[in-house]
Structure 1
Amino acid sequence: MRRQSLDGRTFRPAGGRAGSGAVRFEFREDDGLVWATYRGGPVVVGVLAGVRDGADLRIRYLQIRSDGRREEGYSLNRLERHDDGRVRIREEAAFDSRGSDTSPVLDEVESA
């Protein structure tokens, strides 16, 4: 994928479980450092931070769920481009307290 900043882009889970589409990720990027805040559905608040090298994105995240549980994790991601120019973030691996209970794909949406 041609290098294009994630700064100011908004993402939501693609398809996925009921309620997961309500989660909204607001990304920032500066010189390969990437961070985001997210919330919605079962997530009261979440934060992630990581580094980007071309189309590869390595992140750590922490989120608080509506039932009070704290979840932490690490994921390796690959940035892809839709035919219409929007960005897709595809998770390649994740290790967290929930096992595989995560949405493996985020699609860019128009910012509100």
Structure 2
Amino acid sequence: MARSLDGLVLSPVADQAPGQVSTRTRFAYHEEAGRIWAEYAGGDVVRGHLVGTRTADTLDFRYVQLTQDGATSSGHCVSTVVELADGRVRLDERWEWESREGGGTSVVEQLGL
């Protein structure tokens, strides 16, 4: 199992569609006893929160966010935790909106060491 996400800050490696996370979005992760949560903001996202569980190297969580245009949205994500050769953490994500149509994949990586 890769190391704990507690206290790590991660950011997407590429922009998503407008109104979603971008390379300017920062996720501040917390982890305790198989529970994970994070706050995120930046780019089009004013405020976002995620909460879920971790089993081995798999995260399963729900997220909700508020964007600059005042829209709210929510969804579900399953991520695989990967430890990179340089010691940083990457999350390979499969997500889907629950409040609207759509889904996809994304990659977020730990900023610096």
* TM-score, normalised via structure 1 length: 0.88
CA RMSD in angstroms comes to: 1.9
Q: Is the 8 A contact 1:13 1:103 kept in 2?
A: no
Letter in 2 for 1:71: S
Equivalent residue for 1:45?
A: 47
Equivalent residues in 2 for 1:83-94 (5 A)? 83-94=85-96
Equivalent residues of 2:94, 2:105 under 8 A apart: no
Match of 2:13 in 1: 14
Report the CA distance shift for 1:21/1:98 in structure 2 as closer, same or farther (over 3 A).
farther
Cα distance, 1:82 vs. partner? 1.1
Distance in 2 of aligned mates of 1:26 and 1:35: 8
**Per-residue deviation, residues 12-49 of structure 1 (Å, max 9, x unmatched):** 00123488111000000001100000000000000000
The residue aligned with 2:76 is 74
* TM-score between the two structures when normalised by the length of structure 2: 0.87
Seq. identity, %: 33
The higher relative CO (CA closer than 8 Å, separation ≥ 6) is in 1
Write out the 4+ residue segments of structure 1 that deviate beyond 2 Å after TM superposition.
15-19, 92-98
Partner of 2:23, secondary structure, is helix
Mark the runs of 5 or more structure 1 residues left unpaired by the alignment.
Answer: none
Aligned residues: 109
Query: 1:16–1:103: 8 Å Cα contact kept in structure 2?
Result: no
Matches within 5 A, 1:54-65: 54-65=56-67
